C-alpha cells in the first residue's frame, strides 16, 4: 500500500476514534447530569427528613413543657407525676366551682373520696342541673378517684348527693337524667353525716376561746370570746359595744343578771354575731363594769345541738 493509502487509513481510524471520544464524552455528561439530579433529590430528602426530625423534637419539648406547667390547673395538677389525689380533687373543684363556694375533700376507707361543697348562698339552693354543669370538668379529670359529691346549703344542710352512678352519668353525658336528678335530691336530704357547722376554737388553761365577729351600725370587730356554758346571754364589753354601735346606753332597756359580785342591770343591744359560717342577729348584754372580757353565752346555740371537742379544738353544731 502506498503512503497515500496509509494516510487515508490513519485518517479514517482517527475519525472513528474522535467520534467514539465524543460519544464517551456525551455518555459521561449524561451520567454526570443524572448523578447531579440524584444527589439533589437525596439532599432534598435528607433535608426534609432532618426538618421533620427537628420539628418532632420541638413538638416533644413543647409537649413536655406544657405537661410540666399547663395552661390551667387541670393540666398543672393532672400532669404531675407526684400528684396527690386529695390535692387533685380540691384544686379541680376550686377552679371549676364558683369562687364563693367552699370545698373540702373527705377520705373514707382509704379509697373513697368525697367532695363536700358548701354553696354559702343565702338566697336559694342551686339545682341539680346547675351543680352538674359545674362538676363536669371535675368528674372528667378526677375519675376514678372521686366517688361522691355532697352539696350543702348556707345552713350546712346537705340537699344534693351525687353518688358514683350520678357522677358516671355526668362524666359520660355531662348531666343526669330527670329520674336520677330526683334521686340526687332525695339522697341529699337523707345524707346527714356532715350536717354540722364546725367552729375552730382555742383552748387555754381549760378555757374555750371562740373567734367571733361582732357587727353593728358602727362597724365590725373581731374578738376571741370566752365560751361560758353557764351564761344564758352573750355579754360584750363596753369598749366593744362602743366600737360597733352608737346607742345611748343610759336610755335603752336593761336586764337583770346575777353575777359573782351580786345583781347587776346591764343595757341590751342588738348585734350581728358571726361564728364560723353562721351569722346570727341577737340581743347581747353590755357589761358596764371594768372587765374587758367578752362572754359567749349558750344563747348562740339556741335551737341547735352542739358538741364541744376540746381535744380537736372545735365545736360541732347541728340543726340551725
Same domain, 186 and 202: no
Total number of domains constituting the chain:
3
Same domain, 202 and 281: yes
Same domain, 111 and 161: yes
Same domain, 178 and 141: yes
Same domain, 258 and 286: yes
pTM over 0.85: no
Position 216 scores a pLDDT of 92
Position 81 scores a pLDDT of 45
Residue that terminates a domain, selected from 28, 43, 68? 68
Strand partners, 151: 117, 160
CATH of the domain at 301: 2.40.70.10
Residue that terminates a domain, selected from 143, 162, 190? 190
Tens place of pLDDT for every residue, the chain, 320 residues? 555 554 554 555 455 555 555 455 556 555 655 555 655 555 455 566 667 776 776 565 555 444 444 455 444 444 444 457 888 888 889 889 998 888 888 887 667 889 999 887 767 889 999 999 999 999 988 878 889 999 988 766 789 999 999 999 999 999 999 999 999 999 998 887 776 777 888 988 888 999 999 999 989 999 999 998 888 899 999 999 999 998 998 899 999 888 777 888 999 999 999 887 778 889 999 998 777 789 998 888 887 777 777 776 888 776 54
User: How many Cβ atoms sit within 10 Å of the Cβ of residue 36?
Assistant: 10
**Residue 308 near residue 208 (C-beta atoms within 8 A):** yes
Across the chain, the runs of DSSP E, i.e. the strands, are: 102-108, 112-118, 146-152, 158-162, 197-200, 202-204, 207-216, 219-227, 235-237, 254-259, 262-275, 278-287, 295-296, 305-309, 314-318
Same domain, 201 and 149: no
Same domain, 241 and 266: yes
Same domain, 81 and 186: yes
Residue that terminates a domain, selected from 68, 102, 119? 68
Same domain, 248 and 166: no
Query: Strands 295-296 and 305-309: what pairing?
Result: unpaired
Position 234 scores a pLDDT of 93
Domain extent, residue 163, equals 76-190
Contacts of 286 (CB under 8 A, 6+ apart): 235, 236, 237, 238, 241, 249, 266, 267, 268, 269
Amino acid at each position: 500500500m502506498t503512503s497515500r493509502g496509509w494516510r487515508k487509513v490513519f485518517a479514517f481510524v482517527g475519525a472513528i476514534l474522535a467520534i467514539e471520544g465524543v460519544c464517551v464524552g456525551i455518555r459521561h455528561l449524561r451520567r454526570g447530569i443524572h448523578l447531579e439530579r440524584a444527589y439533589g433529590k437525596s439532599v432534598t430528602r435528607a433535608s426534609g427528613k432532618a426538618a421533620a426530625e427537628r420539628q418532632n423534637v420541638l413538638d416533644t419539648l413543647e409537649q413536655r413543657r406544657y405537661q410540666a406547667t399547663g395552661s390551667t390547673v387541670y393540666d398543672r395538677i393532672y400532669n404531675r407525676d407526684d400528684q396527690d389525689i386529695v390535692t387533685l380533687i380540691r384544686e379541680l373543684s376550686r377552679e371549676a366551682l364558683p369562687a364563693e363556694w367552699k370545698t373540702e375533700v373527705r377520705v373514707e376507707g382509704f379509697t373513697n373520696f368525697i367532695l363536700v361543697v358548701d354553696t354559702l348562698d343565702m338566697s336559694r339552693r342551686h339545682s341539680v342541673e346547675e351543680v352538674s354543669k359545674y362538676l363536669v370538668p371535675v368528674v372528667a379529670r378526677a375519675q376514678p378517684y372521686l366517688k361522691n359529691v355532697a352539696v350543702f346549703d348556707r345552713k350546712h344542710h346537705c340537699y344534693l348527693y351525687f353518688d358514683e352512678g350520678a357522677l358516671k352519668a355526668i362524666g359520660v353525658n355531662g348531666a343526669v337524667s330527670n329520674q336520677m336528678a330526683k334521686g340526687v335530691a332525695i339522697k341529699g336530704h337523707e345524707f346527714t353525716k356532715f350536717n354540722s357547722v364546725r367552729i375552730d376554737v382555742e383552748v387555754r388553761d381549760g378555757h374555750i376561746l371562740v373567734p367571733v365577729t361582732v357587727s353593728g351600725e358602727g362597724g365590725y370587730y373581731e374578738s376571741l370570746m370566752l365560751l361560758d356554758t353557764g351564761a344564758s346571754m352573750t355579754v360584750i364589753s363596753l369598749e366593744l359595744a362602743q366600737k360597733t354601735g352608737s346607742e345611748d346606753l343610759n336610755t335603752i332597756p336593761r336586764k337583770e343578771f346575777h353575777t359573782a359580785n351580786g345583781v347587776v342591770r346591764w343595757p341590751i343591744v342588738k348585734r350581728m354575731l358571726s361564728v364560723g359560717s353562721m351569722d346570727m342577729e341577737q340581743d347581747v348584754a353590755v357589761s358596764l363594769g371594768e372587765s374587758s372580757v367578752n362572754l359567749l353565752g349558750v344563747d348562740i346555740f339556741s335551737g341547735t345541738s352542739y358538741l364541744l371537742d376540746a381535744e380537736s379544738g372545735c365545736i360541732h353544731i347541728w340543726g340551725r
